[in-house]
Chain A
Amino acid sequence: MAAIRRIAGGFAVPLGSVVFAFLVGGLIVAVTGGNPFAAYQGLLCGGLGIACSTTTGENPALQISTTIVFFTPLLMTGVAVALPFRAGLFNIGAEGQLLAGSVACTIIGIKFSSLPAPILLPMVLIGGTLAGAIWAGVPGVLKATIGAHEVVTTIMLNYIAQWLVRFLIVGGPLQAANGFSASTPIGAGARLPLFLPNDPGLVIFGLPAGVYRVHTGLLIGLVALVVFAVVLWRTSLGYEIRAVGQSQRAARYGGINVARTIIITMLIAGAFSGLAGAIQIAGVDHNLTDKYFNDTTGFDAIAVALLGLGSAVGILFASILFGALHAGGSVMQADAGISSSLVQILQALILFSIAANFLRVLRFPTLGLRRPAKAPPRATTP
């Protein structure tokens, strides 16, 4: 019974936050003259392929495939935020680390484009991973050695990465000759295989198999989640990370090298983000484009990690939610005429709700959300 209550209580806060966000979001749609039910039907159809209206002709299977493509990088960037959380560090820099990984993957994939896949694919993925680790290592070292706040340093590095991408592909060394703000494509050997063959003869759920862009990066993302859980709960490093997060002073007395743990935590976090960035290039885009100027995967990751309460299972569910929201946003805009920026609003509302824990403060009689029993009243002295 207690176990059930604990599990239900664990789900109550994230679920309540999502419900809160959708209620307020629906209100915003209604106040501005839109139909919230049509909006959410569009989101549901575009994100999860259910409740699709028969007139708009959305293909549920294609929508689910799109959602999977969107949530794959969130699995890894979610870990990149959640792991430092456990050490008491707030990594806002997942975006910059992801971009560093994308840049490294692109450069290696172009420079060595003639190499065969068994050599080149590991090279681009490892290259991206290392670039992300370096991008996160700088804040890690600054935090561990002189105490510079990682929130500020990672924000700065996000912008440095964003401008670096712009520099590289707008008139910079990576720009393709055709004048568009994009790099030349990476070599064929640097690309992650799709699950379905690009065969025009093969028709699945009414569409040629080539349109389903689910790629093998999904497997890497799921493995990353398992690695995260194992490192955190089954290794001495994970113990040290959690100890540092609980109390740096206690960890230090316990013989843990706090500075070293902080640096390693950030390096691992950056590695996950960098891997996500490499996978986006190798699995989805195959070149660095101006799309990456406005990429928000690393910021979504903050919501994913918080909503997932920093656990591997939670990150999985939260990633699916945000992947579905992003995939659903465009369908909502096309079919219901509601701007896809509603997704950002929902995301912000979820963040507010989780951070403020409105539910706790409002004292809803929700299962598992009761306030701890008050201390017994002091004995009155006569």
Chain B
Amino acid sequence: MNFLSDIGHVLLTADLWRATLEAAALLLLPALGGVISERSGVVNIAMEGMMLTGAFFAVVADLAWHNPWLAALVGIAAGGSMALIHAVVSIRFRADQIVSGIAINIFAAGLTLFLVQRIFGLQDVGHVGQSELLPYINVPVLDQIPFFGRVLFQQNVVVYAAIVLLVVVQLMLFRTRLGLRIRSVGEHPQAADTAGINVYAIRYGAVITSGLLSGLAGAFLAIGISNTFVPNMTDGRGYIALAAVIFGKWTPIGAFVACLIFGFGQAIYDANSVIHVSQYLLSMLPYILTLVVLAGVVGRSIPPAADGVPYAPENE
């Protein structure tokens, strides 16, 4: 009985829900990228590697220039560069997109570790000063609301950005001409091509966007939530984001709901002192839930029709 009241106590703390939202935002950014990329017909399992690259270069830039905003931009660009490789290999060279994605993830893990040891010698890359981190911003007035103020309005600047991006991407995909083009390229590229849409341009743009968003998430992880780079610090978050994309049935809002669920799992094991479930068993939750969704228990999750199929115009 004690256990139940303990759980009840934890669930009522604003900090738990604040941490849930923060963890969800970290997953949401790469998940939004995944949604855009896959909606355009390019399978993207490389968010993990793009995040990791973003995290590394953001830390390096922050250590060099002592400016978190510039560092975040560098992280975003680094993620975008990785995505550019994925785009060139899978669009221009029509490679198997899954193999390319795996290669990106291996490449990112290898390259960041290699550079850590080349640049910093040992594995310790040094720590970014408190004043050089991406800041937590309390929204004036609103942050005074009891409970919700703490949960919603005392967050990192990137969390606010992620929520704005969620709305932007949702509207862009389903309410604008560009979104219609992206989706048509992902469903039936031949038809889209015939209608005068540049399939390659749309796909390049979508894949690179996924890299930019993942790079931002990496920067948030390294110089917002944490203050240093540790090899393989993303620790599967890119794959959880992939799970969120599928769990959310390839929609931004759906992915966000999935991220909230997975983020809640993350937050609850940070509060593990009260709830005596192994954090390792809790860590399985996103993957098990996604399997359950894929198994059709909670409705079917069906990818865009041309997802993963390289596009080759017939006259080539």
CB nearest neighbor in B for A360:
B93
**What chain B residues lie within 8 Å of A79 (beta carbons)?**
none
Binary contact readout A142-166 vs B (1 if CB under 8 angstroms, 0 otherwise): 1000101101110111011011101
Interface centre among B43, B116, B118, B278 (most CB of A within 10 A): B118
Contact across chains for A345 and B111 when beta carbons are under 8 A apart: yes
Q: How extensive is the interface on chain A, given as a class? A: 35 or more
Please report the C-alpha to C-alpha distance between residue A294 and residue B235 in the assembled complex, in whole angstroms: 11
**What chain B residues lie within 8 Å of A156 (beta carbons)?**
243, 287-288, 290-291, 294
CB nearest neighbor in B for A162:
B236
Q: Per a CB cutoff under 8 Å, which of A162, A164, A347, A354 touches B106?
A: A347
Judge whether A247 is part of the interface by a CB distance below 8 angstroms. no
Please report the C-alpha to C-alpha distance between residue A162 and residue B283 in the assembled complex, in whole angstroms: 10
Contact across chains for A348 and B104 when beta carbons are under 8 A apart: yes
Please report the C-alpha to C-alpha distance between residue A161 and residue B156 in the assembled complex, in whole angstroms: 33
Which B residues, 82 to 138, have Cβ-Cβ distances below 8 Å to chain A?
A: 85, 89, 93-96, 98-100, 102-104, 106-107, 109-111, 113-118
Q: Per a CB cutoff under 8 Å, which of A159, A171, A344 touches B113?
A: A344
Contact across chains for B99 and A302 when beta carbons are under 8 A apart: yes
**What chain A residues lie within 8 Å of B115 (beta carbons)?**
32
Which A residues, 144 to 201, have Cβ-Cβ distances below 8 Å to chain B?
A: 146, 148-149, 151-153, 155-157, 159-160, 162-164, 166-167, 170-172
Contact across chains for B102 and A302 when beta carbons are under 8 A apart: yes
How far is the CB of A121 from the nearest CB of chain B, in Å? 30
Which B residues, 273 to 295, have Cβ-Cβ distances below 8 Å to chain A?
A: 278, 280-281, 283-284, 287-288, 290-291, 294-295
**What chain B residues lie within 8 Å of A344 (beta carbons)?**
106-107, 109-110, 113-114
Interface centre among B96, B102, B242, B291 (most CB of A within 10 A): B102
Judge whether A10 is part of the interface by a CB distance below 8 angstroms. no
Judge whether A357 is part of the interface by a CB distance below 8 angstroms. yes
Please report the C-alpha to C-alpha distance between residue A159 and residue B284 in the assembled complex, in whole angstroms: 7
Judge whether A92 is part of the interface by a CB distance below 8 angstroms. yes
**What chain B residues lie within 8 Å of A294 (beta carbons)?**
232
**What chain A residues lie within 8 Å of B232 (beta carbons)?**
294
Contact across chains for A361 and B102 when beta carbons are under 8 A apart: no
Judge whether A306 is part of the interface by a CB distance below 8 angstroms. yes
Q: Per a CB cutoff under 8 Å, which of A163, A348, A356 touches B284?
A: A163
Contact across chains for A299 and B280 when beta carbons are under 8 A apart: no
**What chain A residues lie within 8 Å of B94 (beta carbons)?**
356
CB nearest neighbor in A for B115:
A32
Contact across chains for B295 and A148 when beta carbons are under 8 A apart: yes
Judge whether B196 is part of the interface by a CB distance below 8 angstroms. no
Please report the C-alpha to C-alpha distance between residue A157 and residue B106 in the assembled complex, in whole angstroms: 19
Interface centre among A28, A162, A344 (most CB of B within 10 A): A344
Contact across chains for A159 and B239 when beta carbons are under 8 A apart: yes
Label chain A's interface by main secondary structure: helix
How far is the CB of A12 from the nearest CB of chain B, in Å? 17
Q: Per a CB cutoff under 8 Å, which of B100, B117, B288 touches A339?
A: B117
Please report the C-alpha to C-alpha distance between residue A200 and residue B296 in the assembled complex, in whole angstroms: 59
Contact across chains for A341 and B113 when beta carbons are under 8 A apart: yes
**What chain B residues lie within 8 Å of A142 (beta carbons)?**
291, 294-295
Contact across chains for A348 and B106 when beta carbons are under 8 A apart: yes
Interface centre among A34, A172, A351 (most CB of B within 10 A): A351
Contact across chains for B110 and A342 when beta carbons are under 8 A apart: yes
Binary contact readout B238-250 vs A (1 if CB under 8 angstroms, 0 otherwise): 0100110010000
Known contacts A339-B113, A356-B89, A356-B95; decide if A351 and B102 are in contact (CB<8 Å): yes
Please report the C-alpha to C-alpha distance between residue A357 and residue B93 in the assembled complex, in whole angstroms: 7
- Further pairs besides A152-B294, A339-B114: 5, Cβ < 8 Å: A34-B118, A92-B98, A159-B236, A170-B280, A339-B116
Top 3 nearest A-B pairs (CB, nearest first) are A344-B110, A348-B107, A356-B93
**Cross-chain pairs A/B with CB under 8 angstroms, 25 sampled:** A32-B114, A32-B118, A92-B98, A142-B291, A151-B43, A151-B45, A160-B287, A163-B283, A163-B284, A302-B99, A339-B116, A344-B107, A344-B113, A345-B110, A347-B106, A348-B103, A349-B107, A351-B99, A351-B103, A354-B99, A355-B93, A355-B100, A356-B93, A356-B95, A357-B95
